[in-house]
């Protein structure tokens, strides 16, 4: 089952030896469309310092308890290098962070997580190896909270605004953007796969797709009341004449 990022906001995070705070945002990249960091407000602990947590350290997501369990200790989190999410995140910051935990870099290798398709079970490496750091900001990291409300355009005009993201819990890959089309087609929401997006512009606050408004309007609409199962996904992809992500690697 896919998870709503908006519903994950406010979930508490629990280390091996106690609570560390609650989720306030997510940082994702627009190349692999994967969540790279959970942004966490530590509240009274660490004097309210904001920290980032990689999905690599997530053990379980418990929906009913609204809690995310980590494989880290509170000390691990407390001593981890700071990444200021109010400023552009540089690759140098990320490398320092990953070296602290001795994790392989997600930006090297062909997989979504570098050497693997999922963050769980990534091999531990020795610190200080891998691609050289670069000081400039990574232009591919976006705040999910900031992108909410971005307009989205078809090839022949705008049709909605980004309302949410649906992610695959094991890989933390964003499978769909939830688009609110109320200003164009009242009381309707639709899903758009990141693979159908041609560009994402932070300064224009806009995304563009390779679809037409007529095709979108005649397609399956989405209700958050019902889970997005494979049957719905197949129906969605058939309508847009797109190949499903679950078919990757199969012969055409």
pLDDT higher than 60, residue 127: no
Q: Where in the chain is the domain with CATH 3.90.50.10?
A: 3-141, 148-247
Band (27; pLDDT cuts 50, 70, 90):
very high
Band (124; pLDDT cuts 50, 70, 90):
low
pLDDT tens, position by position, 129-145: 444 444 455 567 899 99
Q: What is the DSSP letter of 46?
A: G
pLDDT higher than 60, residue 198: yes
Q: Where are the beta strands (DSSP E) in the chain?
A: 3-4, 12-15, 18-29, 35-41, 50-53, 58-62, 67-70, 141-143, 151-154, 157-168, 173-180, 189-192, 197-201, 206-209
Residues 173, 167 contacting (CB under 8 angstroms):
yes
Mean pLDDT of 49-70: 94
Architecture of domain 148-247: Alpha-Beta Complex (3.90)
Mean pLDDT of 170-180: 96
pLDDT score for 82: 85
CA distances from 239 to 146, 186, 236, 242 (A): 30, 21, 5, 8
Q: Which of 85, 72, 66 is nearest to 3 (CA)?
A: 66
Band (20; pLDDT cuts 50, 70, 90):
very high
How much is the mean pLDDT over the chain? Answer: 89
Band (109; pLDDT cuts 50, 70, 90):
confident
pLDDT higher than 70, residue 252: no
Answering whether pTM is above 0.85, one says yes
* DSSP calls for 112-134: TTBSSSSSTTPPP--TT-SSPP-
Question: Which ranges in the chain belong to alpha helices (H)?
Answer: 5-8, 74-79, 91-101, 144-147, 213-217, 230-240
Query: Does residue 64 sit in helix, strand or coil?
Result: coil
pLDDT higher than 70, residue 224: yes
Q: Which of the residue ranges 78-82, 83-87, 186-190, 227-231 would you say has the lowest mean pLDDT?
A: 83-87
pLDDT higher than 80, residue 205: yes
Band (99; pLDDT cuts 50, 70, 90):
very high
CATH of domain 3-141: 3.90.50.10
pLDDT score for 239: 97
pLDDT higher than 70, residue 128: no
pLDDT score for 132: 46
Residues 237, 183 contacting (CB under 8 angstroms):
no
pLDDT score for 85: 82
pLDDT score for 22: 96
pLDDT higher than 60, residue 233: yes
CA-to-CA distance for 69 and 98, rounded, in angstroms? Answer: 19
């Amino acid at each position: 089952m896919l998870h709503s990022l908006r519903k994950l906001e406010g979930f508490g995070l629990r280390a091996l030896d106690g609570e560390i705070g609650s989720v306030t945002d997510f940082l994702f990249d627009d190349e692999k469309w994967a969540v790279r960091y959970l942004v966490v407000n530590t509240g009274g602990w660490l004097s309210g310092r904001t920290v980032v947590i990689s999905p690599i350290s997530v053990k379980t997501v418990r929906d009913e308890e609204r809690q995310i369990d980590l494989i880290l200790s509170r000390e691990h989190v407390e001593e981890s290098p700071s990444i200021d999410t109010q400023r552009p995140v540089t690759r140098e910051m990320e490398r320092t962070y990953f070296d602290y935990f001795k994790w392989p870099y997600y930006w090297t290798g062909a997989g979504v997580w570098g050497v693997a398709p999922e963050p769980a079970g990534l091999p531990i490496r020795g610190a200080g190896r891998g691609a050289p750091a670069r000081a400039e900001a990574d232009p591919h990291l976006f705040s999910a909270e900031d992108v909410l409300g971005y307009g989205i355009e078809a090839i022949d005009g705008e049709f909605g605004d980004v309302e949410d993201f649906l992610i695959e819990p094991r890989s933390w890959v964003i499978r769909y953007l939830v688009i609110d089309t109320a200003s164009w087609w009242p009381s309707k929401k639709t899903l758009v796969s990141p693979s159908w997006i041609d560009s994402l512009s932070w300064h224009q606050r806009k995304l563009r797709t390779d679809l037409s408004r007529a095709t979108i309007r005649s397609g399956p609409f989405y209700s958050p009341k019902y889970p997005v199962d494979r049957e719905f996904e197949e129906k969605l992809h058939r309508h847009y004449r797109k190949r499903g992500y679950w078919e990757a690697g199969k012969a055409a």
